[in-house]
Structure 1
Amino acid sequence: MRVHHLNCGSLRRIPLLRDRPTLGEDPAAEVVNHDLPAVCHCLLIETDSDGLVLVDTGLGTADVENPDANLGADWVAFAQPALDPRECALSQVVRLGHAAQDVRHIVLTHLHRDHTGGLPDFPHARVHVHADEYQAVTDPASAHHRHSLERFMPAHRAHRPLLTPTTVEEPTEWFGFADVARPQGLAYELLMVPLPGHSAGHVGVAVRDGDGRWLLHAGDAYMYHGELDYPEPVSHPDLDPVQRGAQTDVAARVATRDRLRALHRRHADEVTVFSAHDPWEFARLAERATS
């Protein structure tokens, strides 16, 4: 088993906040201490039992070829994606010596465009989402249906991805987080941890790295490491508009962030928490994975 950290879509450049704490006290500055493009942080997991498993897919090959149509012109103008085909998950899977068909499962934190762009590149893969996220995009009666479909782009679902809602067969907790689910048909130990607030059925994805330590991909539950690392939560002014524009429940999102802060403080020796878009977290984890 091996876990690869992939950046599947560089976005607009954002500054590292230098006012608090100082760089010397900032854990994310251990590797890189300058401004960086935001990332679409995905995981590629080589398993013995289930082939390759992708956690989120970032931007896909068709997005790079036709960004305005696939991603939306307004989003492209704001996010300023690099549109580098080498960053697409498919390209990175092939460079690692695998074929697209080797990706048998995709586990999504949620169904927003910067997490689903690679789905058409793996049309055969089973795509696991939280049951509430599934309902939001399939049930017109859902309170979040319109909001969810606006962000799950038509081009990313035109091939009819094999969306599979997770179910909690028996009450399961993970470090105090309740209603944790295992994706159906996946033997590998991977947990979908509800982290509500950003989308209708937003989850974190917990896996073990090669050393047996837990990694928690927290999706968009938070977007800047200062929200967890700093003595008081510090969000990023360049990323705040993204969070405000997407969130479905402010109170739930803040409560989720606070629970992640507590997890980070109490169990840092057991769990590494990271978000989907913070480039300093990505740089640190990518460096650790290759060292």
Structure 2
Amino acid sequence: MIRPFWGGLILERWEPALRIHHLNCGTDCPLGGALFDGRSRGLLGRIICHCLLIETDAHGLVLVDTGYGLRDVAHPHRGPEPRITRPWRLLLNIRLRECDTAIRQIEALGFRASDVRHIVATHLDFDHAGGLEDFPNAVVHVMAREYDDATGPHVGVVARNRWRTSQLNDVRNWRHYGASGEPWFGFDAVRNLDGLPPEILLVPLPGHTWGHAGVAIRGADGRWLLHAGDAYFHRGEMRQARRHCTPGLRAYQRLMEVDATSRMANQGRLRSLSIEQRAEVSVTCAHDPVELERCRAGSPL
């Protein structure tokens, strides 16, 4: 059954071996209000970083993305390789708070950092990977192309700002995956992630980055939750035939994409999935606060 948990978090109904907490591990408040989030009444919008914490019986805790981490909060600009560049911090008006970090929320739930044994990354942008180093014992699962792009030479303004090697340098336990696997609702899927149960899989969704992927989790009733990462940003881009997105988020998606054709094609496939397979699959993204609220409340997406 659905029941309330600490801080208003909701524990969704899954089999006992897979229990999901919906966390917000970072908040951006860009100038523009409703032009970004579609509902704010003031000058500032609210964009969140929706991460998942999965409890398993045999595999410990599993995180899907980490949001901003402790070092981001303490020293976002320190050193020759700042963890978050000043232009992007100003552009997004990032609110860095220690209580929002994944590690502090996990501790508030009664766990320790060492209980997190696996992290599955949709991609390694600074707002998704900042907390990786807070869990030094965890194995980090990511698409091989994403790892190569994030740790290799960064060409162009966006690449130099999105991937921060200072957030990745102390991560030692990587697992890399190619973009092939058994089909999943018409998508290529990477199954059998090393050390993880078969109910958790990576779904390649290139476009935002070439190595971008969604993470699908199957519940006891057979339904799937797909965390689509940054494959889309606004709730109006899913679950309806005609796409709707706010001007601010539409522009930001275009700014950050590596390939418009791939991004829009995959977004269209996700939209069809969210409509045609609604009884089987719930789809959520990383940055929409309304979707996060619905997930926490156990409301249909």
- How far the C-alpha of 1:2 sits from its partner, in A, is 0.8
- Which of the numbers 78, 87, 94 marks the counterpart of 2:100? 87
Secondary structure of residue in 1 paired with 2:267: helix
1:146 deviates by: 9.2
Q: Structure 1 length as normaliser, TM-score? A: 0.86
Residue 85 to residue 174, structure 1, CA distance change in 2 (3 Å): same
Give the TM-score, by structure 2 length. 0.83
**1:204-251, CA deviations, whole angstroms, 9 ceiling, x for partnerless residues?**
000024654211000000100111134411122121232112111100
Within a 5 Å distance, the mapping from 1:253-272 to structure 2 comes to: 253-272=263-282
Q: Secondary structure at the match of 2:104?
A: helix
2:169 is matched with 158
- Answer whether contact 1:137 1:145 (CA < 8 A) is retained: no
- Counterparts of 1:88-107 in structure 2 under 5 Å? 88-107=101-120
Question: What is the CA–CA distance in structure 1 between the aligned matches of 2:250 and 2:83, rounded to whole Å?
Answer: 24
Q: CA deviation at 1:286?
A: 1.2
1:119–1:161 Cα contact (<8 Å) kept: no
CA distance in 2, matches of 1:203, 1:173: 14
- Between the aligned partners of 1:200 and 1:215, the Cα distance in structure 2 is 22
Which residue in 2 is equivalent to 1:29?
Answer: none
**2:177 and 2:190 in contact (8 A); partners too:** no
CA distance in 2, matches of 1:263, 1:145: 34
Aligned length: 273
Query: What CA distance in whole angstroms lies between the structure 2 residues aligned with 1:138 and 1:155?
Result: 10
Structure 2 Cα separation of the partners of residues 16 and 40 of structure 1: 18
Q: Supply the distance in 2 between the matched residues of 1:18 and 1:100 (Cα, whole angstroms).
A: 32
Task: Go from structure 1 to structure 2 and tell me whether the alpha carbon gap of 1:3 and 1:251 turns closer, same or farther (over 3 Å shift).
Answer: same
CA distance in structure 2 between the partners assigned to 1:42 and 1:173 by the alignment? 25
Contact 1:208 1:215 in 2 (8 A): yes
Among 198, 206, 222, the alignment partner of 2:208 is 198
User: Amino acid of the residue matched to residue 231 of structure 2?
Assistant: A
User: Counterpart of 1:45 in 2: which secondary structure?
Assistant: strand
Partner residue of 1:57? 66
Structure 2 partner of 1:23:
none
User: Does the CA contact (< 8 Å) of 1:10 and 1:38 recur in 2?
Assistant: yes
CA contact (8 A) 2:181 2:190 kept: yes
2:242 is the alignment partner of 1:232: yes
CA RMSD of aligned residues (A): 2.5
User: Residue 56 and residue 209 in structure 1: after superposition, are their counterparts in 2 closer, same or farther (change >3 A)?
Assistant: same
Q: Distance in 2 between matches of 1:171 and 1:157?
A: 27
Q: Of Structure 1 and Structure 2, which has the larger fraction of its residues in strand?
A: 2
Confirm or deny that 1:245 pairs with 2:255: yes
Q: What secondary structure, in the 3-state scheme, does the structure 2 residue paired with 1:136 have?
A: helix
Quote the residue 1:67 is aligned against: 76
Q: How many percent of aligned residue pairs carry the same amino acid?
A: 43
Looking at structure 1, the residues matched to 129 and 49 of structure 2 have their Cα atoms a distance apart, in angstroms, of: 11
Q: Write the deviation string for residues 244-271 of structure 1: whole angstroms up to 9, x where unpaired.
A: 1211110000000100011001111111
Residue 134 of structure 1: which of 138, 147, 153 is its match? 147
Q: Contact 1:3/1:46 (CA < 8 Å) preserved in 2?
A: yes
Per-residue deviation at 1:154?
Answer: 2.4
Contact 1:195–1:256 (CA under 8 A) maintained in structure 2? yes
| Structure 1 stretches of at least 4 aligned residues deviating more than 6 Å after TM superposition | 16-19, 143-147
Could you tell me which amino acid in structure 2 is paired with residue 37 of structure 1? R
SS in 1 for 2:94: coil
**Unaligned stretches of 5+ residues in structure 2:** 1-17
1:12 to 13, 25, 29: 29
Shift of 1:79: 1.1
1:27-68 alpha-carbon deviations (Å, 9 max, x no partner): xxxxxx656611000000000111000000000111111223
Distance 1:145 1:105 in 2: 32
SS of alignment partner, residue 54 of structure 1: strand
In the alignment, the residues of structure 1 paired with residue 145 and residue 159 of structure 2 have an alpha-carbon distance, to the nearest angstrom, of 11
- The one-letter amino acid paired with 1:202 is H
- The residue type equivalent to 2:167 in the other structure is H
The residue identity in structure 1 corresponding to 2:171 is R
